[in-house]
Amino acid sequence: MEKEGHVSGNGALSLVGQVESLLFVADAPVSANRLAEALEVTPGQVEQALAELEAAYAGRGLRLQRAGNRIQLVSAPEAASHVERFLGLEARTSLSQAALETLAIIAYRQPVTRPQVEAIRGVNSDSVLRTLLSVGLIEEVGRAPGVGRPILYGVTFEFLQHFGLRSLDELPPLEQLPVTEEV
């Protein structure tokens, strides 16, 4: 009998181990469908293996990070300072209040255009968007239909890593502000 995550008696690696191997060598996030194609199994089987991997990583140094249907193997956010020190990376720079506001709008409303961000914030957001693009926290995810076909923005895997999230589902619920009537 094969034990998940280990080699069976006949030397074959379990599906969980195969999925883990592919995620380890992937240089970018991959879809469950791509993993299923490579392993010649169904996407449902891959999802089951991913769920087992996720459970196995609980309390360990690795995590599965998801954005939509894309999955990536990452180090645990709790180990970030140790990983940065080990790799000799600079400490993360702080984000301005404007950058945090803009990131929140994009994370909760994506895909979103610059005019939509500016309508919510009430100020020009060109420089903030350029900064967030340059540090890799947001990316262009398409073009909106209509006049001028404005760029649509969404958050990146780096955004998830920066804030220690496995997926956008872990964002706190957006609180609704009470509506006040004008006198």
- Could you give the domains of the chain? 15-79 (1.10.10.10), 97-170 (1.10.10.10)
Q: What is the DSSP string of 20-61?
A: HHHHHH-SS-EEHHHHHHHHTS-HHHHHHHHHHHHHHHTTSS
- Ranges of H-type helices in the chain: 15-25, 32-39, 43-57, 80-87, 97-109, 114-121, 126-134, 157-162
pLDDT of residue 2: 41
- Average pLDDT across each block of 10 residues of the chain; the chain has 183 residues. List them in order: 49 91 92 96 95 93 86 86 73 78 93 93 90 90 89 90 82 67 47
Contact 41, 10 (CB under 8 A): no
- 124-171: pLDDT as tens digits: 988 899 989 988 899 999 999 888 899 999 999 888 877 878 788 888
Residue 162: closest CA among 40, 85, 75:
75
Identify the pLDDT of residue 8: 54
- What Cα–Cα distance (Å) separates residue 120 from each residue in 25, 131, 138? 41, 19, 17
